């Protein structure tokens, strides 16, 4: 069994979307998490604060520099992630598809190195 990280790619907004927009999405994601647990594929999941809250640490000689993040300036950042067990990419993509539908966001599927071996 391998592991895959499903990253939710979230656009950086000035203001968070209104609750009436978010509520059904959060409900769908919670339901999917339950479905993943029931299927035995769910390993871990978390939502993140906006990328503007990030801090970057960069090794420099003997020191480590502290700077305001995020590390890469972009219009979208990882807004949350789910780690799953899946036998192969096709199985991981199937769960990723469900997460894309539930979250209404693009999903980046990354295989975990030596996952589950």
Of the pair 29, 107, the CB lying nearest another protein is at 107
Compute the least distance from the CB of residue 96 to another protein, in Å. 10
Of the pair 34, 88, the CB lying nearest another protein is at 88
Tokens matching residue 103? 């979250």
For the beta carbon of residue 95, count every other beta carbon within 10 angstroms. 23
Q: Which of residues 71-90 bind another protein (CB under 8 A)?
A: 87-90
**6: contact with another protein by CB under 8 A:** no
Q: Which of residues 88-107 bind another protein (CB under 8 A)?
A: 88-90, 93
**111: contact with another protein by CB under 8 A:** yes
Of the pair 29, 95, the CB lying nearest another protein is at 95
Q: How far apart are CA 13 and CA 75, in angstroms?
A: 9
Of 103, 68, 82, 5, the closest CA to residue 36 belongs to 82
Task: Map residue 108 onto helix, strand or coil.
Answer: strand
Backbone dihedral region for residue 75 (phi beyond 0: left; psi -120 to 50: alpha; all else: beta): alpha
Residues that bind another protein (CB under 8 A): 2, 87-90, 93, 109, 111, 113
């Amino acid at each position: 069994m391998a592991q895959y990280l499903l990253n939710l790619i979230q656009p950086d907004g000035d203001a968070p979307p209104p609750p009436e927009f978010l509520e059904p999405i959060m409900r769908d994601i919670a339901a999917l998490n339950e479905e993943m647990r029931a299927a035995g594929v769910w390993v871990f999941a978390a939502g993140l604060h906006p990328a503007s809250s990030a801090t970057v640490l960069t090794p420099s000689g003997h020191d480590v520099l502290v700077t305001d993040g995020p590390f890469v300036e972009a219009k979208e950042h990882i807004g949350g992630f789910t780690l799953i067990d899946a036998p192969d990419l096709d199985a991981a993509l199937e769960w990723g598809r469900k997460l894309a539908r539930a979250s209404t966001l693009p999903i980046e599927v990354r295989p975990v190195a030596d996952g589950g071996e």
